[in-house]
Chain A
């Protein structure tokens, strides 16, 4: 699996300010589905939100107490922490169009 699984902060923004898009991905252990979700998310962000996003990956097997905070039931769950309002997308994020709708991101064409 991806070596950088447990908690990973990808913050490619060039400025020191908080990135425009703060995303959190909750997974449970290193499953194929988790890996797929992270991969899908990264690709999508690079394509559409390049330089304006951060991704935090939370492994609930390691930090189970974090599940309650964001009301996580399903895994994987992607949480859009910022911009408000909070949005959740569950599943392996394989349908890019739906993820974009869910995140309310205007696709870059």
Chain B
């Protein structure tokens, strides 16, 4: 193979240091090829019937004509111009208008084997002249030859044809046009007639396969001389806007992480997520068994976004929009007003309507046109009905990547089998590794009652609560309630309520006890105060008595000495001694 392809053109063209590329304008393809197809060279697009070769080629021309100012020639060997125009009209490409504007020239080459007889030598100058004429008439920079292998059916002498094809591709290069040549997939070669021999610069392989009744188209860049390119198989779709190739990732993880936090719409949950909610642009997975409240979490999430005045997009794969609105109103979330305001868009489709890839493209389209700040998908597990986990993971990876690049915060819900315990969520571990935060909703059956609980299994880049919280619906939305830890038991539901009542009763009792003791204390203080007052007055009474006694004794003593002095004076005798002795006795008494 390698030798074969080299023989074609490699030796003739020296490689320019920087390969010029011609953008195809096809979403995703330019990313994979790092800018487009090799400019001024032919590219071979091969694949089985119905895998989208013509579509790819036609889009290449239409984008060139409309967006890059490069007119193109479409030379078709199988479809007529009218058929092609009809097919492209479904993508919104008006071929007739482009033709009138001299942006695209169509040439239908019909090869009817039964009309042709060959005698002697000939060449395919007629084809060259037609192509050359078409190129010159509009100054074309792009050329499509679809499917040139039809010539092998029409031209009997394959030796001549092969020589002429080689000359044709050489000639196209000399003309400096970027060409797409399509070819049918062969059994052991890329194309049935080995066109890859002549077109060695770039080969793109398209494939259309059905796995478990779901069809997926895939694209692979087999070779791209002189350029690096994505080598994987990339799923692609032909949607309402033509082909879009979905690169699994944009090759690098380079999105900018925001530090901004956004509320999840559930105060208790914000509290669990470090107190401030989720990071803007992060992705949150909410998994849980049926009836654990996933949809309500999703609804709260979009409701919170709309409250902030942001746009939100809700993909509902289980309920119709009106059913969802009604059901959410029952828990006090009025989403209708946001819909009316144009802030919220609810996209309800049956998951079985499309394959996974198509859903992804649909989401892409919606996100790109609506530009929401917040996206919720409820639930992702419904998207794949045949349990192809790998496919779901890849699809999600691309979706998450896309949303992250756009800075969109995303919430996905995922249904898990109800196994009644909290670790039943192993089935989507593959998906969960892509998520920044993973919330698990679980039903806890205890004591004849089922309660909803919520726990944060992981949340990147923020402290988060390890506790299980009880999840309650009220008339005004969803909230979380602290669970009660009673010894080593987590109490939820009725048990929690009973415990709460019990606690409050004992609180009440204790309060009363305190009051009573305070009252007692006050009474005792009053009693003591009274006693103190009584004692004080008694003391004062005594003091009064004592002073009175002292005064009286003093008075008596004074009287005695006066009398003694007067007696002595009258008798003329000294009575100093008894006068001294009496006051001494009085002084002793008075000291008391």
Contact = CB atoms under 8 A, between A and B. Distances in A.
Interface of A: 26, 28-29, 33, 36-37, 40, 60-61, 64-65, 67-68, 71-77, 85-95, 98-99, 101-102
B126 A77 contact: yes
The 7 closest A-B pairs by CB, nearest first: A102-B117, A64-B133, A94-B120, A91-B120, A92-B120, A72-B126, A28-B125
Contacts of B121: 33, 91-92, 94
Contacts of A102: 117, 119
A77 B581 CA distance: 178
Interface in B110-125: 110-112, 115-125
B114 to A, nearest CB: 10
B107 interface: yes
Interface in B331-354: none
Contacts, number: 98
Nearest to A77: B126
Interface in B122-154: 122-127, 129-130, 132-133, 151, 154
Contacts of B286: none
A94 B119 contact: yes
B109 interface: yes
A67 B118 CA distance: 18
A99 B129 CA distance: 25
A36 B124 CA distance: 17
A42 B118 CA distance: 17
Given A86-B115, A90-B116, A67 B133 contact: yes
B122 A98 contact: no
A89 B109 contact: no
A75 B125 contact: yes
A19 B584 CA distance: 187
Nearest to A96: B119
A28 B133 contact: no
Contact of A72 (B117, B119, B130, B155): B130
Contacts of A75: 122-126, 129
Most chain B CB within 10 A, of A28, A37, A68, A85, is at A68
B467 to A, nearest CB: 78
A99 B119 CA distance: 7
Contacts of A71: 109-112
Interface in B282-335: none
22 contacts: A33-B123, A36-B120, A40-B120, A67-B126, A67-B129, A68-B107, A72-B130, A73-B111, A73-B124, A75-B123, A75-B125, A77-B122, A86-B115, A87-B117, A88-B117, A89-B116, A90-B116, A91-B119, A91-B121, A92-B121, A98-B118, A102-B119
A73 B119 contact: no
Nearest to B156: A90
A89 B117 contact: yes
A72 B131 CA distance: 11
B155 A74 contact: yes
Contact of A73 (B109, B117, B132, B133): B109
A92 B119 CA distance: 6
A74 B117 contact: no
A27 to B, nearest CB: 9
Nearest to A28: B125
Given A65-B133, A71-B109, A73-B151, A90 B117 contact: yes
B266 to A, nearest CB: 68
Interface string B365-399: 00000000000000000000000000000000000
B129 A61 contact: yes
A74 B126 contact: yes
A74 B121 CA distance: 10
Contacts of B129: 28, 60-61, 64, 67, 75
A98 to B, nearest CB: 4
Contacts of A99: 117, 119
